[in-house]
Structure 1
Amino acid sequence: MTVQSPSDAPALPAPRVLDLRAEYRHEAFGTGESAPRLSWRTETDSANWRQRGYALQAFGAAGELLGATGRTESGESVLVPWPFRPLASRERVQVQVRVWGDDQRPSDWSAPLDLEVGLLAPEDWSAAFVTPDRDEDTARPQPSPLLRREFDVRGPVRRARLYLSALGVYEARLNGRRVGDDVLAPGWTSYHHRLRYQTVDVTALLREGRNALGASLGDGWYRGRLGFGGGRRNIYGDRLALLAQLEITYADGAVERVVTDGSWRASTGAILAADLYDGETCDARLEPGGWSEAGFDDAGWWAVREVGGPRPALVAPDGPPVRRIETLRPVSITGSPSGKTLVDFGQNLVGWVRFTVRGEAGHTVTLRHAEVLEHGELGTRPLRFAAATDRYTLRGGGPETWEPTFTFHGFRYVEVGDWPGELTPEDLVAVVVHSDLKRTGWFECSDELVNRLHGNVVWGMRGNFLDLPTDCPQRDERLGWTGDIQVFSPTASFLYDVNGFLASWLADLAADQREDGAVPAVIPQVLPETLPAAAWGDAATVVPWVLYRRYGDTRVLERQYGSMKAWVEYVRARAGETLLWDQDFQFGDWLDPAAPPTNPAAGRTLPGVVATAYFARSAELVSQAARVLGNTGDAQAYAALAAQVRAAFVREYVTPNGRVLSDSSTAYALALEFALLPGEAERDRAARRLRELVRESGYHISTGFAGTPLICDALTHAGEVDAAYQLLFQRGCPSWLYPVTMGATTVWERWDSMLPDGSINPGEMTSFNHYALGAVADWLHRSVAGLAPAEPGYRRLTVRPRPGGGLTHARARHDTPYGPAEVGWRVEAGQIEVEVVIAPNTAADVTLPGSGERHAVGSGRHRWVYPYADARLHPPQVTLDSDYDALVRHPEAEALVTRLVGEHSPDHLGGFQRALRSSVAGMSIRRAVWGTRHREALLDRLEAALRELQA
């Protein structure tokens, strides 16, 4: 036997620095920061690797050294402060980093990060917003304007940058070629306060001699129709306008600018109307050929004029742009009962259709979009006032490929009208469009329905993260509802890197917040009423805190702290001396399945219970944010306020034995998860009652927006993990898996958006792509797989898998700011295997399932294998003496028993179910059928059927 001493061990490769990045963006071009913070990841084969130091160096555009830190003793590698002088507008630098670990071996210098600063100050802009100088009927959609300008390039170009924005949305062209790959730019912000601009490298598009710059404009969110019930137009303004500043740096160092001013010319082209809700109408015969190329005759075009009035602050984007992400081919083309041609893309998605067609000039093809079919026809009723229809009139003369420019749709199905000839799957594709966020989170387990549920959550997020977090992407709404993202932000921040995306949205929230601190129900605010309400307005406190916890970014707390405080002070003023927010309009536990279709706010839980619970939660979050920011006075004051609100909640809503008013699952979930109950006895009683209610519901969902994100955690933290799994695995309506069994490919707005007979919910408000109720995915990541942050930014992880529900394996992976982390477990042959991957420069606290053993581990790969027994993997057969919890472990048996009791004694079915699901000890199937007519005959039938089913 040979013993190898440490000195003889082969040396491991030096650590490698990867993914050097600046601020929120993985693309560091056109940054709006003069001192961007830097982050990097380290890859190493060394176990338990910790960074002990780093060095940074920066070089200018000519390769000159701008600065070097030398070795800095620090373990920080995420959002490290910029160590050099502030950068100026337009400045270009290259940055590199190297690191040292415990063994003091340095890494090589990283690959350089190319940083280029955008325009930081108003005086950097010499361009003006210009609009066509003609009258328009802005009460309805107008043809999209075309604007152009020709100019000369006198010699070789070293570099050229085009800075662009618009009042409306734009698509730019330079010498006939499209500029950039953004769509629907500059996106949607609170336009009166903030307007994004884009920076594009157009060096390769210029040529010596004559050039032409042009852009087309669309209404977009700026003056297009927004809101439900018909909505409103021209909310931000009634004139579309372009802002463009082309800066050409010649080889000799001279700089020339081509800017939007009075010298531009304007006309209209093929796009006759473009609206986000209604779709786009295009007549290809009207497109002026070569209008964005040099030499085009624009003699008949109109003049332009500058747009007056105050200019909003021009800001560089914090998050990625909206782009075409992928394309999907049709899975079928069929005829409807009425003879319509229907195309099924197999996935509810957001974007549009691109098609290639051949036909006569003047022939019009029509595309109508919808998410579902109803009785074999396109289900358009849920779209309400959104036409969601594109029309294309052919120019003729050969194959024509077209896709819309200034609209988008939420759809799975498309009804194609007046297609010339036979429509084939090769003729069209669905173009998936959303903000180009970096995917960071994955989950899978041994249950395929749960995997599909998780996939539906991902697709729902993709469709609704189009420039800002919307409620739904298809009907006459598509607004940034605060309640939806408040409950979904933990899930979103696991699945994708949303730090910059949501930081930008939060800046709009602060901008649109009223002076008294009220937070509008939608951001940007475009509704006639503000509608400040609990769980919606609390996005002001919850979302910044989630971003801080998930990304370790204190700046989001710094920027939003005033907004967070203002919201809590608004609620304090509304609650008054009682500290109970039991007045004003409230959404309550919105979309509690007990609420009628026509009144989704009429749930089981008293609105004051929800509102006061959130008041305590937000006060606590402000206290915690103040503590992080070093504001000791505020930290103490808001902690005291939170304690006072909790005490008021208990006095008004909690009995001495721990019963919470409304006696609903949501009320108990709020009380437990927001730590509203004062003592262990009250918490135990609330936990027991929550378990009883969940069982009495037949493990069907009985919560809405306020309770659903909390219910599984409340059960898990109360030691009722099995009940949480029973909720997860329920397939009947209402449940998470019911839509999956109905063929859903995204998360629905209502638990029963589609009824079991295939008809659409009769309520006016029905969407088949709403991510809010998909917030359960965060529980899948943290509890089922067992991967959660213990410290901000995942610097330390909590690894605590909780197997159950008959699952044999589960796995979650997340690209943390420090690198990939992964937790997976598998139960097989009486053993469990737990595998954990911890990113370099981080650590984890691992609690092993079953044994309860705890391990503190460093970075690297860790594995444990040990005996493990899980009765849920092999549940006993169902007999007449089985209770309800045994019955629900066999969904087929439960369905069989329910059907037979209903057939034998319809009048007693409800009573049978209530008795069986009650908390009465020993209540079996046999005892629960007591009182039915011909009881012995029913028992004989049940016994024989169960024996046959399980044979």
Structure 2
Amino acid sequence: MEFKANWIRPAKDLGDVCPVFKKEWKIKKPLKKVELYLTALGVYEAEVNGKRVSGYVLAPGWTAYEMRLQVQRYDVTELVREENILTVIVGRGWMRSPMPGFVEAEYKKKRMEQPCGLWGELHLTYADGSKEVLASDETWEYGESAVRFSEIYDGEHYDATFDTTLWSHALRLDWQTDILMMQEGEEIREIERIGAKSVFETPAGERIVDFGQEITGYVEFCVDAKAGERIRILHGEVLDKNGNFYRDNYRDAKAEIQYICKEGGQTYHPKLTFFGFRYLKLEEFPKKARPEQFKAVVVCSNIKKTGHLSCSDPDVNQLFSNIFWGQKGNFLDIPTDCPQRDERLGWTGDAQVFVKTATYNYDVEKFFTKWLHDMAAHQRKDGGIGQVIPDLLDAGNPSAAWGDAAVICPWQIYQTYGKKQILEDQFDCMKKWVDYITGATTVPYLWAGGEHFGDWLGLDAPSGSYKGSSREEFIATAFYAYSTQLLVKAAKVLGKDAGEYEQLYQNIVETFRKTYPEYLTQTEHILAVHFRLAKDLQKTADDLAEMIKRDGSQIKTGFVGTPYILHVLSEYGHSDLAYTLFLRKEYPSWLFSVKQGATTIWEHWDGIMENGDFWSADMNSFNHYAYGSVADWVYEKAAGIRPLEEYPGFERVLIKPMADKRLNWLEASIDTRNGKIASKWICTPDGIRYEIETAVPAEVEIGDMKMEVAPGTYTFWG
């Protein structure tokens, strides 16, 4: 589509105040349709004649703005009258906020100083077939809005007594239009509202609102107040061990709402920002606050739930809930690490370790397609992939297991949804990443040199380190091999010549085996087996099992080893030990945080320690989805729903459940592109009953029984 609009901006700097742009027009003859095309440098909220044009919030979302900026199309025909006013408030959003909060650099300062900009067109189609376009230009006006301040980290200030009465003509803004593209990702939506569970006073005398669930979004409150009365609200994830409000882990993010009341009853929620929180601290609030005055509005990308997990253990069910909530809370237009502190970035390592679970829990094909296109756009000239996408850390060195998201994520999207297009789109990016490693290493066929995150947050880390004790170059070379192997597979799917990379893969494996004849940590054993690099896979898995038992039957792994540890144990005859780790309730374990009251997945196994103290204040998120990757083991091994690589999109599956009598029953299902696959096992006095539902042909393995079944519902005993 050919557009005519110009970028426009306020004629003067409004400081912290968010501008509101206005276009007035009259309808000259009978209308058939009115469409609004809109985007902004920042985030916006648009109304026609006082009514929202869409439920899309935080539009236009977050992309690699320098190269890709989404345009939204809205059908506003039903909102149009004879005389009309379009208004658009524009906030800083991701583009012009001080992101990331922990970096001070010239490129960050430059982003923050970018001007506010709006681009839009109204397309009027008349009943007689004629058309008219009202494109943004100097005839559009702007003024100060009631949003007196808004940005991603620090929150929003709103003055309900303010009316925009002074309007001036906008100026043209010299900004690119060749970067504009129609909406590609999922829209960000308000998907749920949760009422407050309680309002109470802490031992320190603080007024606290508790929603009983950590969410990403914002609070909506109603109040009866006098004009000029002020409301001030702070957000927090947890209480401290004394039951007082805690927010040190937000670091420099103020995460604050300030609201100046108008006279009488009123309802408000922030328009142009979001928060991660469970608790609110009411610093200022008129009269006595009651639970019914507050609702937590859950905001995330409009992804459809496709997975279901449930079992007989309430603690494990809470873990499942935490995993789903962690994904919702961090899938807000990009896969973020956390939604609350002065970060909220698209960390590539977090995304790749969780991508399989993500695709089973929700339909994220569209979501990841857009993010991976941003990754390709931000790929560096030498083929390196930034630590975060969009790449706001452009001075950061590419790291193994983080940059490998360039290969792992598109391959998984292809495997789950069965469409080659994602591999077509990303193949050059995948190839350039492998070539980057080949060019960056100081030793051929290893990934030597460079800077890496290692087994991030591994519990075997030496004192003072976050990186675990696994050798960084071991991890880097293992992922070098894995990404090369996946690149070869992708090339074959696309009918491309993979000979050069097949040879490269063989050379990496041979060199790896010579260089690393022994494995020193749990994670080193895990990677050697899972990536099929060890000469003797069974022995290495057995050695891993013995090491875990010597370690007290507990995990020592971090971000790199944790996603695969239970898979390796289950695949090589140690499913009982896998269940021991999975069902463990003492620290360290998945269920330790559950016993501590978690409602989402934590960044650290002991974010809140056994004595009630916090792990730290500087890096301690209580909504960090990466360790929720254990869910793909529950789907694939515990419940036994195993997609077959040669049949992408679940065209055919292997169903091979692994029951454990420490649970009375367990069930899982995935709504795939080819229909629902479900598996349940129940421990009874007569044995274990297996109930299977499959919409596709399936290979079933239960104990020594192996058979092929057509689509249908089946019951087996084992």
Return closer, same or farther for 1:234/1:434 CA change in 2, 3 Å cut-off. farther
Q: What amino acid is aligned across from residue 693 of structure 1 in structure 2?
A: M
Q: What amino acid is aligned across from residue 863 of structure 1 in structure 2?
A: T
Larger radius of gyration: 1
1:773 matched to 2:646? The reply is no
1:713 matched to 2:578? The reply is no
Task: Tell me the residue number matched to 1:203.
Answer: 77
Shift of 1:763: 5.3
Per-residue CA deviation, residues 267-288 of structure 1 (Å, 9 max, x unaligned), is 1121111011111011111133
Residue number among 671, 683, 686 corresponding to 1:827 in the alignment: 683
Shift of 1:237: 5.7
Contact 1:410 1:474 in 2 (8 A): yes
The 2-side partners of 1:363 and 1:725 are apart by 56
Q: What amino acid is aligned across from residue 224 of structure 1 in structure 2?
A: S
1:847 matched to 2:714? The reply is no
**Larger RCO (CA under 8 A, 6+ residues apart):** 2
Task: Tell me the residue number matched to 2:540.
Answer: 686
Q: How does 1:127-166 map to 2 (within 5 A)?
A: 127-137=5-15, 142-166=16-40
Task: Tell me the residue number matched to 2:270.
Answer: 404
Task: Tell me the residue number matched to 2:473.
Answer: 608
| Structure 1 residue matching 2:570: 3-state secondary structure | helix
Per-residue CA deviation, residues 492-512 of structure 1 (Å, 9 max, x unaligned), is 000000001001000010111
Return closer, same or farther for 1:198/1:236 CA change in 2, 3 Å cut-off. farther
Q: What amino acid is aligned across from residue 4 of structure 2 in structure 1?
A: S
Shift of 1:230: 5.8
Q: How does 1:41-60 map to 2 (within 5 A)?
A: none
| Structure 2 residue matching 1:454: 3-state secondary structure | helix
Shift of 1:449: 1.4
Task: Tell me the residue number matched to 1:171.
Answer: 45
Per-residue CA deviation, residues 467-513 of structure 1 (Å, 9 max, x unaligned), is 11000000000000000000000000000000010010000101111
The 2-side partners of 1:510 and 1:854 are apart by 43
Q: What amino acid is aligned across from residue 609 of structure 1 in structure 2?
A: F
Contact 1:274 1:281 in 2 (8 A): yes
The 2-side partners of 1:236 and 1:503 are apart by 28
Q: What amino acid is aligned across from residue 385 of structure 1 in structure 2?
A: D
Residue number among 490, 502, 505 corresponding to 1:642 in the alignment: 505
The 1-side partners of 2:249 and 2:388 are apart by 20
The 2-side partners of 1:233 and 1:185 are apart by 23
The 1-side partners of 2:681 and 2:637 are apart by 12
The 2-side partners of 1:554 and 1:359 are apart by 57
Q: How does 1:93-108 map to 2 (within 5 A)?
A: none
| Structure 2 residue matching 1:198: 3-state secondary structure | strand
Q: What amino acid is aligned across from residue 618 of structure 1 in structure 2?
A: S
| Structure 1 residue matching 2:538: 3-state secondary structure | helix
Shift of 1:599: 2.9
Moved more, 793-802 or 827-836: 827-836
The 2-side partners of 1:596 and 1:128 are apart by 56
Residue number among 700, 715, 718 corresponding to 1:863 in the alignment: 715
| Structure 2 residue matching 1:423: 3-state secondary structure | coil
What is the total number of aligned residue pairs between the two structures?
Answer: 712
The 2-side partners of 1:255 and 1:710 are apart by 58
Per-residue CA deviation, residues 79-130 of structure 1 (Å, 9 max, x unaligned), is xxxxxxxxxxxxxxxxxxxxxxxxxxxxxxxxxxxxxxxx4xxxx1111111
The 2-side partners of 1:202 and 1:309 are apart by 27
Task: Tell me the residue number matched to 2:657.
Answer: 801
Task: Tell me the residue number matched to 1:376.
Answer: 243
1:270 matched to 2:127? The reply is no
Shift of 1:638: 1.2
Q: What amino acid is aligned across from residue 820 of structure 1 in structure 2?
A: K
Task: Tell me the residue number matched to 1:468.
Answer: 334
Moved more, 569-578 or 477-486: 569-578
Task: Tell me the residue number matched to 2:489.
Answer: 624
Residue number among 671, 674, 685 corresponding to 2:531 in the alignment: 674
Q: How does 1:419-458 map to 2 (within 5 A)?
A: 419-458=285-324
Per-residue CA deviation, residues 240-268 of structure 1 (Å, 9 max, x unaligned), is 11111111111111111122111011111
Identity of aligned residues (%): 39
Task: Tell me the residue number matched to 1:110.
Answer: none
Q: What amino acid is aligned across from residue 862 of structure 1 in structure 2?
A: Y
The 2-side partners of 1:343 and 1:172 are apart by 31
Q: What amino acid is aligned across from residue 708 of structure 2 in structure 1?
A: A
Task: Tell me the residue number matched to 1:782.
Answer: 636
| Structure 2 residue matching 1:728: 3-state secondary structure | helix
Task: Tell me the residue number matched to 1:28.
Answer: none
The two structures, once aligned, show a CA RMSD in angstroms of: 1.4
The 2-side partners of 1:718 and 1:235 are apart by 51
Per-residue CA deviation, residues 211-230 of structure 1 (Å, 9 max, x unaligned), is 11110000001111111326
Task: Tell me the residue number matched to 2:222.
Answer: 356
Contact 1:220 1:406 in 2 (8 A): yes
Per-residue CA deviation, residues 816-874 of structure 1 (Å, 9 max, x unaligned), is 112222111212112222222122xx3111111x3x2111112121222x3x4xxxxxx
1:248 matched to 2:124? The reply is yes
Q: How does 1:450-849 map to 2 (within 5 A)?
A: 450-595=316-461, 599-601=465-467, 603-631=468-496, 633=497, 635-654=498-517, 659-660=518-519, 663-678=520-535, 682-762=536-616, 764-790=618-644, 791-804=647-660, 806-839=662-695, 842-848=696-702
Return closer, same or farther for 1:287/1:233 CA change in 2, 3 Å cut-off. farther
Residue number among 298, 303, 311 corresponding to 2:177 in the alignment: 311
The 2-side partners of 1:309 and 1:205 are apart by 30
Q: What amino acid is aligned across from residue 753 of structure 1 in structure 2?
A: G
Shift of 1:462: 0.2
Task: Tell me the residue number matched to 1:924.
Answer: none
Return closer, same or farther for 1:381/1:312 CA change in 2, 3 Å cut-off. farther
The 2-side partners of 1:669 and 1:563 are apart by 27
Contact 2:415 2:648 in 1 (8 A): yes
Residue number among 227, 236, 261 corresponding to 1:394 in the alignment: 261
| Structure 2 residue matching 1:197: 3-state secondary structure | strand
Shift of 1:341: 0.1
Per-residue CA deviation, residues 684-739 of structure 1 (Å, 9 max, x unaligned), is 32112100111112222210011000100111111111111111011111111100
The 2-side partners of 1:233 and 1:333 are apart by 40
| Structure 2 residue matching 1:793: 3-state secondary structure | coil
Q: What amino acid is aligned across from residue 486 of structure 2 in structure 1?
A: L
| Structure 2 residue matching 1:399: 3-state secondary structure | strand
| Structure 1 residue matching 2:169: 3-state secondary structure | strand
The 1-side partners of 2:343 and 2:169 are apart by 36
Q: How does 1:840-919 map to 2 (within 5 A)?
A: 842-848=696-702, 850=703, 852-864=704-716, 866=717, 868=718
| Structure 2: tracts of 5 or more residues without a match | none
Return closer, same or farther for 1:541/1:236 CA change in 2, 3 Å cut-off. farther
The 2-side partners of 1:381 and 1:597 are apart by 23
The 1-side partners of 2:580 and 2:94 are apart by 43
Q: What amino acid is aligned across from residue 499 of structure 1 in structure 2?
A: E
Contact 1:443 1:454 in 2 (8 A): yes
| Structure 2 residue matching 1:591: 3-state secondary structure | coil
Contact 2:70 2:184 in 1 (8 A): no
Contact 1:226 1:233 in 2 (8 A): no
| Structure 1: tracts of 5 or more residues without a match | 1-118, 289-297, 869-951
